């Protein structure tokens, strides 16, 4: 089971109740009300086991480092964003509140610690008429990476100007050759390009809420790349390549597969079938949010959720105890407004590009190379005789 009682958690961790509750308040252990007894709480098994392993306080450096990489303590210093008390904060501002009124351009400026960013786009040339936005984005960034200057040794002001250009390059690739050039808000241009003007506000909210999420996998890839002195476009290319994985930005694609199954056999049967195959549900639960992903709640509360999606979410929560996360909300958004199939990943990539570049700018100013070590577990070295 994914959840355990307080007595079970205390037995596993071998600590007093106060220690358990302190870990919950610090966001290190997820907790939720026990539906069978509202006076009690349940605690997430994986979090309890992880804290039990870390309990001794005399952990070896190798073990500390390994756990830090695996949803552990922060491994890099950053002033850009953080998740604290179940909320996402951009430079001390609540991202959920910002999504109510702020534009993507304003939030990008905030993340870059500068004024509102103007994202100037023009008609983009694709390598072939059939290129999808992801292919066009990867090609455009790879082309820039081959010619852009290194990020090291350049002033923040110059790098911020280049960052705006890199963000525009990605926006152009996603908007496509049929999109009109101009300086209107990106959310407006996307809505027009996709033939769905009524989706503009929802798109704006998505771009704001997904602009950054502290040290996620794609952002870490960007950090590592730029730490070598590579160009900003190379850092974004690394981030985008990482985002395409099914455990990251590609999760919304798996939601479509689950919806297709539910369409054929019904939500409850689909959930049972999915579990019977030993498959993890995509787009449900998040290690950083014990009470559910607030970004998902913020998005789902502003759109008319298709009945099948709502029924499926209820069935999954009943079966495994996890709520929809922002990947599920992206799939709902695409369905509710009949957006293109690529829209969830395209929105995720464009939004997160603002964060990738914020972290790239921050990393470039440190001048430090990120070079972790491995903990070798292979055959022992054999010196030559």
For 320-331, how does the pLDDT look when each residue is reduced to its tens digit (9 = 90+)? 999 999 999 999
Q: How far apart are CA 252 and CA 341, in angstroms?
A: 10
Helices (H) and strands (E) in the chain, counts: 18, 6
Q: Which long-range contacts (CB under 8 A, 24 or more apart) does 369-377 make?
A: 369/227, 369/228, 370/76, 370/223, 370/224, 370/227, 372/65, 372/69, 373/65, 375/62, 375/65, 375/66
Given the residues 44, 223, 286, 359, select the one marked as catalytic.
Answer: 286
Given the residues 131, 212, 293, 327, select the one marked as catalytic.
Answer: 327
Q: How far apart are CA 62 and CA 347, in angstroms?
A: 37
Q: How far apart are CA 191 and CA 208, in angstroms?
A: 15
93-94 and 37-44 strand pairing? unpaired
> Does 277 score more than 50 pLDDT?
yes
Q: How do residues 144-199 score in pLDDT, each as one tens digit?
A: 999 999 999 999 999 999 999 999 999 999 998 765 556 789 999 999 999 999 99
CA 258 to chain centre: 20
The segment with the largest mean pLDDT, out of 20-24, 174-178, 326-330, 380-384, is 326-330
Q: How far apart are CA 32 and CA 285, in angstroms?
A: 12
Is 368 annotated as catalytic? no
Closest to 208 (Cα-Cα) out of 189, 236, 186: 186
pLDDT range class, residue 58, cuts 50, 70, 90: very low
In this prediction the pTM is 0.81
Closest to 105 (Cα-Cα) out of 194, 176, 187, 201: 187
31-34 and 87-90 strand pairing? unpaired
> Does 223 score more than 50 pLDDT?
yes
Is 327 annotated as catalytic? yes
- Asked if residue 185 lies in contact with residue 104, where contact means CB atoms within 8 angstroms, the answer is yes
Q: How far apart are CA 326 and CA 347, in angstroms?
A: 12
Comparing 164 with 75, the larger pLDDT belongs to 164
| pLDDT score recorded for residue 329 | 96
SS3 sequence, 282-323?
CCECCCCCCCCCHHHHHHHCCCCCCHHHHHHHHHHHHHHCCC
Comparing 237 with 25, the larger pLDDT belongs to 237
CA 84 to chain centre: 15
Place of tokens 């990251």: 248
Place of tokens 């910002």: 98
Q: How far apart are CA 350 and CA 136, in angstroms?
A: 13
- CA distances (Å), 6 to each of 13, 24, 39, 56, in order? 10, 11, 12, 20
Reduced to 3 states, what is the DSSP secondary structure of residue 62?
Answer: helix
Q: How far apart are CA 297 and CA 235, in angstroms?
A: 31
| pLDDT score recorded for residue 64 | 54
Q: How far apart are CA 227 and CA 225, in angstroms?
A: 5
| pLDDT score recorded for residue 316 | 94
> Does 124 score more than 50 pLDDT?
no
Q: How far apart are CA 373 and CA 380, in angstroms?
A: 17
Comparing 279 with 125, the larger pLDDT belongs to 279
- Asked if residue 123 lies in contact with residue 181, where contact means CB atoms within 8 angstroms, the answer is yes
Q: How far apart are CA 308 and CA 276, in angstroms?
A: 21
Q: How do residues 338-358 score in pLDDT, each as one tens digit?
A: 999 999 999 999 999 999 999
- Asked if residue 269 lies in contact with residue 185, where contact means CB atoms within 8 angstroms, the answer is no
Reduced to 3 states, what is the DSSP secondary structure of residue 277?
Answer: coil
CA end-to-end distance (rounded Å), the chain: 53
Nearest 5°: phi and psi at 17? Answer: -60, -35
Q: What's the burial of 93, exposed, middle or buried (CB within 10 Å: 0-12/13-18/19+)?
A: middle
């Amino acid at each position: 089971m994914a959840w355990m009682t307080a007595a079970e958690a205390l037995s596993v961790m071998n600590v007093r109740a106060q220690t358990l509750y302190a870990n919950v308040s610090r966001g290190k252990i997820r907790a939720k009300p026990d539906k069978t007894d509202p006076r009690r709480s349940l605690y997430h098994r994986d979090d309890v086991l992880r804290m039990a392993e870390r309990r001794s306080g005399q952990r070896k450096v190798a073990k500390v480092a390994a756990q830090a990489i695996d949803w552990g303590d922060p491994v890099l210093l950053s002033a850009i964003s953080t998740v604290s008390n179940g909320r996402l904060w951009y430079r001390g501002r609540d991202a959920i509140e910002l999504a109510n009124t702020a534009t993507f351009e304003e939030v990008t400026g905030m993340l870059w610690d500068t004024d509102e960013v103007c994202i100037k786009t023009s008609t983009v040339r694709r390598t072939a008429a059939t290129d999808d936005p992801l292919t066009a984005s990867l090609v455009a960034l790879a082309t820039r990476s081959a010619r852009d200057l290194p990020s090291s040794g350049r002033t923040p002001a110059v790098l911020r100007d280049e960052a705006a250009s890199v963000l525009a390059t990605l926006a152009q690739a996603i908007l496509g050759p049929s999109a009109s050039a101009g300086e209107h808000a990106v959310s407006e241009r996307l809505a027009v390009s996709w033939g769905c003007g009524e989706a503009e506000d929802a798109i704006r909210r998505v771009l704001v809420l997904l602009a950054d999420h502290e040290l996620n996998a794609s952002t870490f890839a960007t950090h590592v790349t730029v730490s070598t002195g590579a160009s900003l476009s190379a850092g974004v290319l690394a981030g985008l390549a990482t985002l395409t994985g099914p455990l990251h930005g590609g999760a919304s694609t798996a939601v479509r597969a689950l919806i297709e199954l539910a369409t054929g056999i019904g939500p409850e049967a689909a959930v049972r079938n999915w579990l019977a195959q030993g498959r993890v549900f995509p787009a449900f639960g998040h290690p950083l949010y014990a009470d559910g992903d607030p970004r998902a709640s913020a998005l789902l509360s502003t759109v008319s959720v298709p009945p099948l999606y709502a029924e499926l979410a209820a069935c999954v929560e009943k079966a495994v105890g996890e709520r929809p996360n922002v990947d599920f909300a992206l799939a709902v958004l695409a369905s509710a407004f009949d957006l293109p199939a690529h829209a969830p990943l395209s929105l995720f990539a464009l939004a997160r590009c603002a964060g990738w570049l914020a972290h790239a700018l921050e990393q470039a100013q440190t001048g430090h190379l990120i070079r972790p070590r491995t903990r070798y577990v292979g055959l022992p070295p054999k010196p030559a005789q």
